[in-house]
Structure formats: structure tokens, C-alpha cells
Amino acid sequence: MSSFLLRQVKLTQPQFALMLQYQCRVEASTSSSASIVQHTPVVLDNTKPPPPLDADRMRMHPRIGNREIVGYGLKGKPEYFDLVMFPCPSIRWEADIPAIAELRKKEKGDWKQLSVEDKKKLYRASFRQTFEEFTAPSGVWKWTMGWTLISLAGLIMAYDAWRRVAYNIERPDSFSDEKLKKQLQYHIAARQGPMTGLSSKWDYETGTWKK
Amino acid sequence: MALLFRSTLIQLLTKTTRPMLMTMASTGRRNMSSHSKETDEEFDQRWKAYFERPNIDGWDIRQGINHMNRLDLIPEPEIISACLQACRRVNDHSLAVRYLEAIRYKSNAVSKEVWPWILQEIRPTLNQLGVSAPEDLGYDKPELALKSVDDM
């Protein structure tokens, strides 16, 4: 649920957490129709006895699917993460489908035989994003600046509207035409701006504006 | 150079071969912290021995990589080579690339000249094992534009 207004806020209520967990489970079994092959000696073959269940597998494999647990990770939990501080997560990113299993076999041989595409596929099977990708700038600052300025403008406009409504601003009567004319006569009589301003344009002998 | 706390020191002692730390007399260098009195060479030797164990497995390599990444240093090229050899032993090429990417990121935070030097120093190992540097795979620029985890 990515909302337009609350872009950076993660929703962590229990219902949403459950929704996300369910989505994790659905997405974790990435190969729907192909048969799954494990990289470790555990091969999921239902003619053989089931693999020995340890506590991690019992708890985590419903969540992570058939992905291989390869390390300690962050806190010992078999979860995937892309972090700069901890380059190696505890599980691979993708489950071992037969295409990847073949590549793994090839990987056991000479690495010079692997082509660049093979190496890239292997990398993407173990990791979701490269370092460059998850450290790339996100550009959120533009969104932040935009909304800051918009909300600032909105607040100022709202304040102005409230002032007009609440204080019902009227103009004083000195803005009427006769009063303004009177004011101009007073200014000219008092010689305001005699050199370059108002009164310099008034001809005092004839009593009119200068031509 | 290495500020190691006691708990991680003990952790590593139980994993590495013993004779490293006990009998070496520290020559000359004094550390700021009172915890470890270890020289740079001892540190390098210890980590090299850790990665050069013949029966190391993927779990320990990842543990070592994660731990060393947390320390306030960039590993020496010999340690990097030892780790790449260990990756070769467990047949995991992507792990080697990931490790190189981590070092590249860290060294770029220091200066633009560190990473080319490191690459040049470990180029013999890369050629010998057939490991691709991140640049060879095109991973020095972002390739996919996936949604960030924080936006989901």
C-alpha cells in the first residue's frame, strides 16, 4: 500500500504485517511448476525420506520457501537483506530451480568457462540487488522539497483566507475620491517634493499642472 | 589499526588455528585501546590463516566477510586473495563478486584511488581463479531499478 501522501512511512500495524508475511510466503516459492533442487545435499524427492528438520527449517522454510540457508546473516535469522554493513545475507535470494542447479554444477568447474551472462545469473540468484543499486540515490529529496513548499504556500493562503473571512476587512473612508483629492491639494500646498517630485510638476502661478 | 573487542577476539580464536596470537611478541607498536596489543602483521596473519583453512565452508566465509566489513579498515590484498581462494574452494563465484563489491564501496568512501590499486594488487589472483571484478560484470553502475525495500 504505497500512499501518495505518506511516502516514507512504513505501515507496521499487525494486520499489515500479516498481509506482508503472506505475500512473502507466496513470493518465496518462486518456481511454481518446475521441480525444486537444493544445492545442499538435501534434495526434495518424495521417494526418499524427508530431510531432517531442525528448528530453523521448521520455522523459516514456510516463510522463505526452498531457498538455501547459507550463513549467519544479521541476527542469526534466515532472512534476506541488502545492507552495506553486512554484504552477505543469510539466505540466497532465489530458490534452486533446475536452471540454476545446472549453473551451480558448472560453477564447480573452472570459473573461466563461465560466461559473463552465467556469472550475472548466478549473482542474481544469490543476491537481489548489487551494491550500486541499493546505494543509488533515491531522489526523495525532490518529493520532500516539493511538498514542503506546497504546504507552506497552502498554509499562507489559508491564513489569508481566514483573515479576510474573520476580520471582514473594510477600507477606511480616506480611500474615497473626494478625500484623495483633498489629500493631493494638501500635498501641493505643503510643497511636497519640490525639486523632482509632486510639487515640481505644479505650476503655482497659474494654479494648474505644468505643461 | 585494528580495534578488536574481547568478545570477537575470543570468537575468532575458537575458529582459527591456535598458534597465531599466543607466542608472538608485539614489536614496537602501541595501540590506543587497552584491549588488544596486536600489530598489523599479526592481524593480517590471523585473518589470512582464517581464510586459508582447507575445509572452510560458506558459512564461515560469510561470517568472516561480515565481521571484517564491520571493522574500521580495508583488508590487505593478501587477505582478499585468501578469501577469494576460499570462495573457490566452496564453489561460490557470486560470493566473491559480492565481497569485491563491498570492498569497492568501502574504498570509494575513502578515496577514488584506493580501489584501482587494490584491483591491481589482486589481479593475479583474479586471473588465476577466473573471478570477475564488479566492473567486468557491469556492476559498477546500477543495472536493475528495483523498488527499494523501504518503499514496500
Same-domain status, A131 and A145: no
| Spatial distance between the Cα atoms of B12 and B63, rounded to a whole number of angstroms | 10
| Cα four-point dihedral sign A88, A90, A93, A98 | positive
According to the model, what pLDDT value does residue A39 have? Answer: 43
Mean pLDDT of B122-138: 93
Q: Which of B68, B80, B88, B91 to mutate to test the interface with A (most CBs of A within 10 A)?
A: B91
Residues A61 and A124 in one domain: yes
Domain final residue, candidates A135, A163, A188 = A135
Nearest of B29, B27, B34, B26 to residue B5 by alpha carbon: B34
The answer to whether B145 contacts A133, with C-beta atoms less than 8 Å apart, is: yes
Mean pLDDT of B75-79: 94
The pLDDT value given to residue B148 = 82
Closest in B136, B142, B148 to A132, CB measured: B142
Same-domain check for residues A128 and A162: no
Q: How far is B98 from chain A (nearest CA, A)?
A: 7
Same domain membership, residue A161 and residue A128: no
pLDDT at site A17: 59
CA A110/CA A112 separation, integer angstroms: 5
Query: How many Cβ atoms sit within 10 Å of the Cβ of residue A83?
Result: 14
Q: Tell me if A76 is assigned to some domain.
A: yes
Residues of B with CB under 8 A from a CB of A: 58-59, 61-63, 65-66, 69-70, 88, 91-95, 97-99, 101-102, 104-105, 129-132, 134, 136-146, 148-152
Cα-Cα-Cα-Cα torsion A20, A22, A25, A26, nearest 10 degrees, comes to -100
The domain of A101 spans: 53-135
Residues A66 and A124 in one domain: yes
pLDDT value of residue B116: 95
In a domain, A108, yes or no: yes
Instruction: Tell me if chain B has a CB within 8 Å of the CB of A120.
Output: yes
Search chain B and give the residue with CA nearest A82: B149
A-chain residues near B15 (CB < 8 A): none
β-bridge partners, B46:
none
CA distance A135 to B25: 42
Grid coordinates belonging to B117 = 590499486
Question: How far does Cα A46 stand from its chain's mean position?
Answer: 45
Same domain, A101 and A122: yes
Same domain as A154, residue A130: no
Q: How far apart are CA B57 and CA B16, in angstroms?
A: 13
pLDDT greater than 90 at residue B105: yes
CA dihedral sign of residues B38, B43, B47, B53: negative
Q: Show residues of chain A in contact with B12, CB under 8 Å.
A: none
Residue B39: CB partners within 8 Å, gap ≥ 6?
Answer: B24, B26, B27, B28, B29
Residue A166 covered by a domain = yes
A200 CB-near residues (< 8 Å, 6+ apart): A193, A194
pLDDT at A54: 65
> How far does the CA of residue A16 sit from the closest CA of chain B (Å)?
11
pLDDT score at A52 = 67
Please report whether residue A13 resides in a domain.
no
* CATH at residue A183: 1.10.442.10
Q: A108 and A66, same structural domain? A: yes
How far apart are the C-alpha atoms of A63 and A23, rounded to whole Å?
10
Higher pLDDT, B40 or B24: B40
Mean pLDDT by 10 residues, chain A (211 residues): 53 60 56 42 58 63 77 87 92 83 88 91 91 88 96 97 88 90 94 92 91 83
Residue A83 lies in a domain: yes
pLDDT at position B26 is 44
ipTM above 0.85?
A: no
* Domain's final residue, options A69, A104, A135: A135
pLDDT of residue B28: 46
Please indicate, yes or no, if residue A40 is contained in any of the structural domains.
no
**Residue B77 to residue B56: CA distance in whole angstroms:** 20
Sign of CA dihedral B31, B35, B38, B42: negative
> What is the Cα–Cα distance from A34 to B144, expressed in whole angstroms?
25
CB B84 within 8 A of CB B125: yes
Same domain, A76 and A115: yes
pLDDT of A123: 93
Q: What is the DSSP letter of A69?
A: B
Least CA distance to A74: which residue of chain B? B66
In a domain, A9, yes or no: no
> Is A148 found in the same domain as A130?
no
B62 to each of B19, B42, B56, B86, B94, how far by Cα in Å? Answer: 23, 22, 11, 11, 12
Q: Cell numbers for B82, please give them.
A: 585468501
Q: Are A131 and A152 within one domain?
A: no
For cell 557470486, the residue is B94
Instruction: Examine the domain organization and report whether A125 and A154 are in the same domain.
Output: no
Residue A182 lies in a domain: yes
Which residues 28-67 on chain A approach chain B with CB closer than 8 angstroms?
none
Across B98-116, average pLDDT = 94
CB pairs under 8 A between A and B: 114
Q: How far is CA A59 from CA A41, A65, A79, A91, A93, in A?
A: 20, 11, 12, 14, 18
| Of the ranges A53-62, A106-115, B110-119, B140-149, the best mean pLDDT one | B110-119
Domain total of chain A: 2
Q: What angle do CA B65, B66, B69 make, to 5 degrees?
A: 85
Query: Is residue B29 predicted with pLDDT exceeding 70?
Result: no
Q: Is the pLDDT of residue B32 over 60?
A: yes
Contacts of B67 in chain A (CB under 8 A): none
Cell output for B68? 571484517
Confidence of residue B39 (pLDDT cuts 50, 70, 90): confident
| DSSP per position, A70-107 | -S-TTTSS------SS--S-SB-SS---HHHHHHHHHH
Instruction: State the pLDDT confidence band at B21, using cuts at 50, 70 and 90.
Output: very low
Among the three residues A105, A135, A165, which one is the final residue of a domain in this structure? A135
Query: What domains can be seen in chain B, in order of their start residue?
Result: 40-141 (1.25.40.40)
